């Protein structure tokens, strides 16, 4: 708010004054060393606006007027809801320039911190990720802010009541492309000029404003996130020189020393933003947003996706979210290479045979065969005349695993083909006995009386019946 003791004679306007024939000044909203912001309204449209004036004494500062114009051009060039819109620019008759902006209700993060002390992880990440959306669009068109701090991040509300972050004050912005701001602008990067807010300046910005690129904004976002979560800035000293010395040489105090419940992974992300070596720092806001995703609320996923798309980065698969934020981690950069393949051990010829035969290249598919355990034939006695054990219908142990003769019209016969060998021999034996009995009976019946032949005639059928009974029993097994 404005100082009540300020004299209107020092200001380039007064309440009720008409600016450019269309804006009427209502009241003073705030005043700083370089400018003042007032509430006004458009007379014809009855639209409430905010007008920022550059104070007359500020015109004597080298580069102040070009900086003021640069701020307006940068805000207009960035098409984002997270940047305060600039509606008009001009100059008071015979006085300093002014800038007409959208009127915002709410407060900046400096006031939020003064009231709350520190913010929750979810709230802090929500504000920072929304600010990253604005910075991503600025970086995409070649504009670096170079003066990010809680005072320049404004929190307002949408119609549905959700928070909406606006990034303000692009006065120190630096175009990295020749046409980023639509034309040449006077240089504000003389090596002897120190511009910015000391506690949020990167080491390269402390050395020279010329050497600050988009990664200086990443540093400032890391400092802001550090302060939102812990309530303190990472680099503090009693003098400006002391602050610059700490920024250039001293490591920051670890955030978990000030906030013990901070997830270690989130602390690691903040410290990566504060790397003094720019090559080891988080390289852009897209990478920063992706690293913050495991710790943010699901609603922030939309902001992260926008940031990645705006900067044209390939979609990065974020790690699986953990129900416990303390277990969240930073995604690994690369997986370790697979171990070299080991040589196959030599197979024991007496090892168990496979249960399913493999299909040979260009040949027929072999049938699945029953597992057969191969043994050394020396473990058994020599072969007996009867190779087939009829009682078990199994191959003699000495014959197990030996392939049978191949038929001309098909693949080799399997062990199961021998199961009928016993019954067939028994059947043949029974038929032969029956035939022999009939021949003997017929021969005897022609030479002797039938009386003595009757037992033989009865024995023949009985032998046949017995053979059939044995065959049925074998088949049932």
The one-character DSSP state at 55 is: -
User: Does the annotation mark 147 as catalytic?
Assistant: yes
Backbone angles phi, psi at 216, to 5 degrees: -70, -30
For 287, other C-beta atoms within 10 Å of its C-beta total 20
Q: Which helix (H) or strand (E) holds 98?
A: strand 97-102
Q: In this structure, are residues 141 and 77 in contact, taking their beta carbons and an 8 Å threshold?
A: yes
The closest alpha carbon to 442, from 426, 453, 427, belongs to 453
Alpha helices in 232-284 (DSSP H): 240-249, 264-273
CA pair distance 460, 97, nearest whole angstrom = 135
Catalytic residue among 126, 147, 217, 284: 147
CA pair distance 66, 171, nearest whole angstrom = 9
CA pair distance 265, 249, nearest whole angstrom = 24
Spatial CB neighbours of 217, under 8 Å, sequence gap ≥ 6 = 135, 139, 144, 145, 146, 148, 285
The closest alpha carbon to 423, from 475, 476, 477, belongs to 475
| Beta bridge mates, 24 | 18, 41
Strands (E) across 130-206 are located at: 143-144, 153-157, 163-167, 174-175
Active site residues: 147
């Amino acid at each position: 708010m404005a100082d009540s003791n300020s004299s209107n004679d020092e200001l380039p306007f007064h309440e009720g004054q008409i600016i450019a024939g269309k804006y009427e000044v209502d009241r003073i909203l705030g005043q700083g060393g370089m400018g003042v912001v007032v509430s006004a309204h458009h007379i014809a449209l009855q639209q409430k606006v905010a007008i920022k004036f550059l104070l007359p004494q500020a015109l004597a500062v080298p580069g102040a007027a070009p900086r003021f114009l640069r701020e307006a051009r940068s805000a207009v060039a960035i098409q984002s809801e997270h940047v305060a819109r600039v509606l008009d620019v001009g100059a008071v008759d015979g006085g300093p320039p002014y800038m007409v902006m959208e009127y915002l209700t709410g407060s900046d993060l400096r006031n939020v911190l003064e009231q709350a002390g520190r913010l929750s992880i979810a709230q802090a990440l929500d504000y920072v990720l929304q600010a990253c959306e604005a910075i991503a669009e600025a970086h995409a068109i070649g504009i670096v802010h170079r003066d990010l701090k809680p005072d320049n991040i404004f929190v307002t509300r949408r119609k549905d009541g959700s928070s909406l972050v606006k990034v303000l004050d692009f006065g120190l912005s630096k175009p990295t492309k020749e046409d980023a701001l639509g034309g040449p602008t006077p240089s504000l990067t003389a090596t002897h000029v120190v511009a910015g807010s000391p506690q949020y300046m990167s080491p390269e910005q402390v050395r020279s404003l010329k050497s600050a690129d988009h990664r200086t904004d990443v540093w400032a976002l890391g400092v802001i996130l550090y302060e939102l979560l812990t309530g303190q800035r990472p680099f503090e000293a009693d003098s400006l020189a002391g602050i610059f010395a700490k920024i250039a040489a001293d490591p920051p105090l670890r955030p978990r020393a000030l906030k013990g419940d901070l997830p270690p992974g989130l602390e690691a992300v903040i410290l990566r933003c504060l790397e003094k070596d720019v090559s080891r720092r988080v390289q852009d806001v897209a990478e920063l947003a992706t690293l913050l995703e495991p710790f943010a609320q699901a609603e922030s996923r939309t902001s992260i996706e926008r940031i990645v798309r705006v900067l044209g980065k390939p979609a990065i698969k974020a790690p699986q979210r953990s129900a416990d934020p303390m277990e969240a981690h930073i995604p690994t950069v690369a997986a370790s290479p697979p171990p070299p393949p080991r040589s196959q051990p030599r197979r024991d010829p007496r090892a168990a045979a496979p249960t399913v035969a493999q299909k040979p290249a260009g040949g027929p598919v072999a049938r699945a065969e029953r597992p057969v355990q191969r043994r050394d034939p020396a473990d058994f006695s020599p072969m007996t005349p009867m190779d087939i054990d009829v009682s078990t219908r199994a191959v003699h142990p000495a014959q197990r695993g030996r392939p049978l003769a191949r038929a001309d019209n098909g693949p080799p016969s399997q062990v199961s083909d021998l199961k009928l060998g016993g019954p067939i021999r028994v059947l043949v034996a029974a038929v032969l006995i029956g035939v022999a009995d009939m021949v003997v009976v017929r021969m005897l019946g022609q030479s002797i009386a039938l009386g003595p032949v009757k037992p033989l005639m009865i024995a023949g059928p009985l032998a046949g019946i017995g053979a059939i009974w044995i065959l049925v029993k074998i088949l049932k097994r």
